[in-house]
Amino acid sequence: MLLKELSAKIEAALNQQVEMEAASSQYYLAMASWSEVQGYNGVAQFLYRHSDEERVHMLKLLKFINERGGHGIVPALKQPSLKFKDLHNIFDQVYTHELKVSKEINHLVDLSLHEKDYATHNFMQWYVTEQIEEERMARHILDKLKIIGEDKGGLYSFDRDLAIFNTVDGR
């Protein structure tokens, strides 16, 4: 048995973040499935990868909690929405969700400093950097969709470009 190095507050907050990352994975998975059914295979591929990334984020947190003597809890999840209006709506939701995740990450960083848990603070810096990238990506996609508007040819190209982005970027 490991010596417990996490305070109860930090352990609870980290487990809440585990749940948020798991829910994010499910949320993006639902968006991917909807996109695929609508014929947006590039968008679906992009969102399937994004869902996988969120699961990796969850696992990283879970393992950290356990390594520090806590108990990482696998959360029960609510079913995410299965219907979406259009691609604009999906990526508006992605951006809004990433802002919410960033807020929670910042809360965890603040809590770790307040609790003088510098190991957790250091660990969370990876998430801070990751969220900067996630917000930037979502904002750039929204900018592209605003330029495209409802143009069918533009949406076709956008879908194709996201598929290419997935293979080039390794996402």
Long-range (24+ apart) CB contacts under 8 A made by 1-8 are 2/67, 2/68, 2/69, 3/69, 4/68, 4/69, 4/70, 5/68, 5/69, 5/70, 5/119, 6/65, 6/68, 6/69, 6/70, 6/117, 6/120, 7/115, 7/117
- Residue 57 marked in a binding site: yes
Ligand-binding site membership of 54 (annotated): yes
| 93 labeled part of a ligand binding site | no
Helical residues (DSSP H) of the chain, grouped into ranges:
8-37, 41-67, 87-114, 118-148, 152-169
Alpha-carbon distance 117 to 9, whole Å? 11
Q: What radius of gyration, in Å, describes the C-alpha atoms of the chain?
A: 18
Q: Which residue has the tokens 């990876």?
A: 126
Give binding residues as ranges: 21, 54, 57, 98, 131
Give binding residues for Fe cation as ranges: 21, 54, 57, 98, 131
